[in-house]
Amino acid sequence: MTDDALRSDLGGLDYDPAPESAALARLRPSYGLFVDGEFTAPEAHQQFASINPATEETLATVAQASSLDVDAAVASARRAYDKVWRKTSGAERAKYLYRIARLIQERARELAVVETLDNGKPIRETRDIDVPLAAAYFFYYAGWADKLDYAGFGPNPAPVGVAGQIIPWNFPLLMAAWKLAPALAAGNTCVLKPAETTPLSALALAEILQQAGLPEGVVNIVTGDGDVGAALVAHPGVDKIAFTGSTEVGRLIQERLAGRSTRLTLELGGKGANIVFDDAPIDEVIEGIIDGIFFNQGHVCCAGSRLLVQESVADEVLRRLLRRVDQLRVGDPMDKNTDVGAINSAAQLARITELTDAGEREGAVRYQAACALPSKGYWFAPTVFADVAQSHRIAREEIFGPVLSVLTFRTPEEAVAKANNSNYGLACGVWSEKGSRTLWVAQRLRAGVIWANTYNKFDPSSPFGGVRESGFGREGGRHGLEAYLNV
């Protein structure tokens, strides 16, 4: 399918393997739940395997929490809230969070290995992005804990109470940090539900919370499938639900909470447009497109999965993009040279396969990187679709995989109209050397995050979240406190 003439002459050169050591993970064979400051006995629960998606080998077995376990976790969080945490001064809460940030930094290499093994994402990303950012979120929100009076929500803002937090599998540790850090800083206690396929880094974080001496019950972690999340949402003892995941599940949660006083914030799906104008510096654009869609195998809610290229440069951008896609190193996530790792689960691989098949059936032209894929594990070669129409499923539905849909436009107005032609509104990219045009476009895009001449950047001081069906509420920055304050 790919035109051989487009391949780089450098294709013949290769790197030697540079694998990170899996032994650094220090995983236990089996885990209980983290409730009331202690791990419960693994044998007290039904266990399920958390596998390495790159090898399909079991890494550890993890507890499937029952609704009684959820009750116990919520009760523990309530006790901790009433008896300890609400009486702990902001300055003291801050110091716990600073400790947690430091402990994450100290155990950074171990956490990166755990995350890469459990998730399938490249060690380069967990080492350089997931783990350092997780520490940074705790460090940032630590400083807010004793400064809430100055956060712009009026004097002495009260916490909400017990927060139920449900996080996805694409950035397991980082999402735990996004949820826990602002909640704890604001004075809430938490019940965290990690994703079914990626529970291990949250359980490693539980050990860190113990090492930090965080009072028992302030954070509880319940693992298991979607039923655990549903039990948490249904629980009358929970004052706030924070959910990150699909729009489909977010909608259900919003419906279930409709008649209740439980607070809700949702960070849902996206179909981000990455808009390239003809004056943009093309080398940077190509790297930006790659970062936008192939970072974390495209398992990113804010991924730049719709490339909108100005017609006058579309041929050149596509040609150079395909050449760059062929340079991506796909394979062992533990190899320090790997760019694109494993798909997180068989179910996700099936969804990506189904949608890309639909893309071909509907008439888009498919290019796939000609890379060798390992025989075991879940893999999907980086894929680019050209000649995509706005009505195609691959232009409308979130694929959540390494698949880019390329569309074109002629005028800035058309670019904005196409970018906004989506029920989602999480993130967009704009590439242009002309600042006034970039801001003109940014003003008109319906999205919560806009990256100008960059993509997929995150920072604890920068609010993140969507508009429309990408959800509501913000995580990060001063804005991120609002979700956890009674204001």
Partner 1 sequence: MSERLDVKKTYKLVVKGAFPRSESGRSYEVRSASGDFFANAAQASRKDLREAVLAARGAQATWWKATAYNRGQVLYRWAEMAESRSSELAEHVQLAEGLKKREAQASVARAIDRLVWYAGWTDKVTQVLGGANPVAGPFFNFSLPVPSGVIGVVAPTRSSLEGFVDVVAAPMCAGNAVVALASETRPTPAIILAECSVTSDLPGGVLNVLTGHLAELAPHLASHEDVDGLDLTGAGELGDELARLGAASIKRVYRERGDGEENPLRRLRTFVETTTVWHTIGQ
User: Per-residue contact track with partner 1, 83 to 122, x per CB under 8 A?
Assistant: ----------------------------------------
451 near partner 1, judged by CB under 8 A: yes
Show the beta-strand stretches assigned E in 331-393. 365-368, 383-386
Q: Is 302 a catalytic residue?
A: no
Q: Give the range of 83-91, 183-191, 332-340, 437-445 binding partner 1 by CB under 8 A.
A: 437-445
The end-to-end CA distance of the chain, in Å, is: 56
Alpha carbons 384 and 366: distance in angstroms, whole number: 6
Q: Minimum distance from CB of 8 to partner 1 (Å)?
A: 27
> What number of other Cβ atoms are within 10 A of residue 125's Cβ?
23
Alpha carbons 26 and 439: distance in angstroms, whole number: 48
Helices (H), 241-364: 247-256, 282-294, 311-325, 346-361
Pairing of strands 38-39, 34-35: antiparallel
303 near partner 1, judged by CB under 8 A: no
Q: Minimum distance from CB of 123 to partner 1 (Å)?
A: 22
Options 230, 471, 481, 484; binder of partner 1; rule CB under 8 A? 471
474 near partner 1, judged by CB under 8 A: yes
Total residues contacting partner 1 by CB under 8 A comes to 47
Burial of 23 (0-12, 13-18, 19+ CB in 10 A): exposed
136 near partner 1, judged by CB under 8 A: yes
Q: Minimum distance from CB of 59 to partner 1 (Å)?
A: 32
**Nearest alpha carbon to residue 129 among 342, 288, 291, 19:** 291
Alpha carbons 177 and 111: distance in angstroms, whole number: 13
467 near partner 1, judged by CB under 8 A: yes
Which pair of structure tokens corresponds to residue 358?
């639909």
Chain residues 255-274 in contact with partner 1, contact rule CB under 8 A: 255, 258-259, 261, 266, 268
Q: Is 190 a catalytic residue?
A: no
- Which residue reads 């998606």 in tokens? 53
Q: Kindly compute the dihedral angle of the four CA atoms of residues 398, 303, 305, 346, in this order, to the nearest 10 degrees.
A: -50
Catalytic residue among 190, 301, 302, 428: 301
DSSP at 446: -
Alpha carbons 385 and 78: distance in angstroms, whole number: 50
438 near partner 1, judged by CB under 8 A: yes
Residues in the chain: 487
Backbone angles phi, psi at 459, to 5 degrees: -155, 140
**Nearest alpha carbon to residue 84 among 184, 165, 164:** 184
Q: Minimum distance from CB of 294 to partner 1 (Å)?
A: 19
Q: Minimum distance from CB of 453 to partner 1 (Å)?
A: 4
Which pair of structure tokens corresponds to residue 407?
């569309």
Q: Give the range of 40-48, 220-228, 319-327, 450-458 binding partner 1 by CB under 8 A.
A: 450-458
156 near partner 1, judged by CB under 8 A: no
464 near partner 1, judged by CB under 8 A: yes
Q: Give the range of 6-14, 62-70, 119-127, 443-451 binding partner 1 by CB under 8 A.
A: 443-451
146, 89 Cβ separation under 8 angstroms: yes
Options 200, 202, 465, 481; binder of partner 1; rule CB under 8 A? 465
468 near partner 1, judged by CB under 8 A: yes
Q: Give the range of 22-30, 60-68, 147-155, 374-382 binding partner 1 by CB under 8 A.
A: 147-155
Catalytic residue among 20, 115, 125, 267: 267
Q: Which residues are catalytic?
A: 267, 301
Interface ranges with partner 1 (CB under 8 A): 136, 152-154, 247, 250-251, 254-255, 258-259, 261, 266, 268, 423, 435, 438-439, 442, 445, 447-454, 457, 459, 461-465, 467-472, 474, 477-479, 482, 487
